[in-house]
Amino acid sequence: MKFNTKLIHAGISQDQATGAVNVPIYQTSTYAQQELGGSPRYEYSRTGNPTREAVEKLIRDLENGAAGFAFASGSAAIHTVFTLFSTGDHIIVGNDVYGGTFRLINSVLKRLGLEFTTVDTRDLAAVKAAVKVNTKAIYLETPTNPLMRISDIAALAKLAHENELLTIVDNTFATPYIQRPLDLGADIVVHSASKYLGGHSDLVAGLVVTKNEQLGEKIGYLQNAIGGILGPQDSWLLQRGIKTLAVRMKAHEHNTQEIFSFLRSDDRIGKIYYPSDPEAPGYEIVKRQMNGFGGMLSFELKQGLSVKKFIENLSLITLAESLGSVESLVEVPAIMTHGSIPEEIRLKNGITNELIRLSVGIEEASDLVADLKNALAKA
Ligand SMILES: *Cc1c(COP(=O)(O)O)cnc(C)c1O
């Protein structure tokens, strides 16, 4: 089955009990058991629920993994993956990961005795130098948020395997439509399905896929033990969202390319960050590991223009956090998503006060460009 067909038919796509063409919402906590001491397929919905199982098998198949798991949020999914490790274990983390992941690491996991070193994962030598005797994993995002930095998943996974480390990739920005980290040698993929996979800003969910069965058993055990599962209603909504991933991603990318061309031609715009830029560092890796460029783009207004006036004069593009939905969203990382990073570190990392991040939706491209043009004129 090709990827676009899998979106509709992979995993469990119909109800096995009735033939309904959509898996229903099995709104139940428990299941009648036929015999005492038997081993029923379902016994309690934290452990297993048919609606959740349908979306778990779907993401498993989309990422070409051995097992998939659905959680109440991306953060819950990431937390559960980190509980694979024990006090004293060391993990190498990309220096440009999602703010909530940074917070989870620094204010929760370090307190529980996990050790972390943050490294620019574009730099293989730096990653190699960070490996210690107690290192157990490399955790990264690519492309990163908001500067679209690209790391070489295959090269990192090779380095990880040579050192007996797991490679864990947060694939939220690219989605399996564009990039499949397990095919490139990674061991675990995590998602905030609240973004492109759900795709409509109407749901918070997280997903994990493991490359092999053994890791799948471990994550399954932890999912049940910790209990941060996705409920049946949101599992259903997520499966419904995922079905249109291919058509949405095509439209996101088309619009983002149009906006990229417009911004490039306008001399009021400074740096632009989008993976389709052949002059950007990492473009060779993009060509190798990504099947497209996605719908996230960041750019800077030149000095002298007002970011505040620009943002407040957008009428179609909505000022909001989050990303990956059908409607276009804009945010200013320095004030919003990355506001908790100390200014000195933030500026050093390239996230300037003039940087604007767009999550380009699937509206008509010319309407989006007109909105940007109008706001620029007033900035
Ligand atoms: C949003 C996001 C998360 C966190 O997911 P939630 O569903 O909001 O908990 C993790 N990683 C990335 C890259 C994200 O964008």
Q: How far is CA 152 from CA 78, 120, 132, 295, in A?
A: 21, 11, 21, 20
Nearest to 146 by CA among 327, 362, 321: 321
Q: State the pLDDT at residue 345.
A: 84
Its CATH class, for the domain covering 246-377, is alpha beta
| Dihedrals phi, psi of 286, to nearest 5 degrees | -55, -50
Query: Could you tell me the residue ranges of all domains in the chain?
Result: 3-243, 246-377
* Cα–Cα distance measured from residue 135 to residue 114, given in angstroms and rounded to the nearest whole number: 10
Q: State the pLDDT at residue 175.
A: 98
* Cα–Cα distance measured from residue 225 to residue 229, given in angstroms and rounded to the nearest whole number: 10
* Cα–Cα distance measured from residue 219 to residue 340, given in angstroms and rounded to the nearest whole number: 31
User: b/e for 139-176, b at 16 or more Cβ within 10 A?
Assistant: bbbbbbbbbbbbbbbbbbbebbeeeebbbbbbbbbbbb
Question: For 43, how many CA atoms within 13 A lie in the half-sphere containing its CB?
Answer: 9
**Residue 46 buriedness (CB in 10 A; 0-12 / 13-18 / 19+):** middle
> What are the residue ranges in the chain where pLDDT is below 50?
none
- Amino acid identity of 219? I
Nearest to 31 by CA among 17, 20, 13: 17
Q: Which residues contact 278 (CB under 8 A, 6 or more apart)?
A: none
Is 98 tagged catalytic?
yes
**Tokens at residue 312, please?**
């407040």
Whether the CB of 73 sits within 6 Å of ligand 1: yes
Q: Are the CB atoms for 240 and 350 separated by under 8 Å?
A: no
* Cα–Cα distance measured from residue 55 to residue 237, given in angstroms and rounded to the nearest whole number: 9
Catalytic residue among 26, 98, 196, 273: 98
* Cα–Cα distance measured from residue 109 to residue 16, given in angstroms and rounded to the nearest whole number: 41
| Dihedrals phi, psi of 243, to nearest 5 degrees | -55, -30
Is 6 tagged catalytic?
no
pTM metric for this prediction: 0.97
Whether the CB of 194 sits within 6 Å of ligand 1: yes
- Amino acid identity of 91? I
Whether the CB of 204 sits within 6 Å of ligand 1: yes
Taking CA atoms only, the protein residue closest to ligand 1 atom 6 is 74
Domain 246-377 in the same topology as domain 3-243: no
Q: State the pLDDT at residue 249.
A: 98
* Cα–Cα distance measured from residue 92 to residue 94, given in angstroms and rounded to the nearest whole number: 7
Ligand 1 site-directed mutation target among 80, 98, 331, most atoms within 8 Å of CB: 98
Catalytic residue among 61, 152, 170, 234: 170
Yes or no: domain 3-243 corresponds to CATH 1.10.10.10? no
* Cα–Cα distance measured from residue 97 to residue 33, given in angstroms and rounded to the nearest whole number: 45
Question: For 376, how many CA atoms within 13 A lie in the half-sphere containing its CB?
Answer: 19
Nearest to 54 by CA among 17, 110, 85, 11: 11
Q: How far is CA 80 from CA 38, 71, 153, 161, 225, in A?
A: 29, 9, 22, 22, 10
* Full DSSP string of 138-207: EEEESS-TTT-----HHHHHHHHHHTT-EEEEE-TTTHHHH--GGGGT-SEEEEETTTTTT-SS----EE
Q: Which atom of ligand 1 is nearest to the CA of 77?
A: 9
Q: Are the CB atoms for 150 and 142 separated by under 8 Å?
A: yes
**Residue 304 buriedness (CB in 10 A; 0-12 / 13-18 / 19+):** exposed
Q: Which residues pair with 272 in a beta bridge?
A: 299
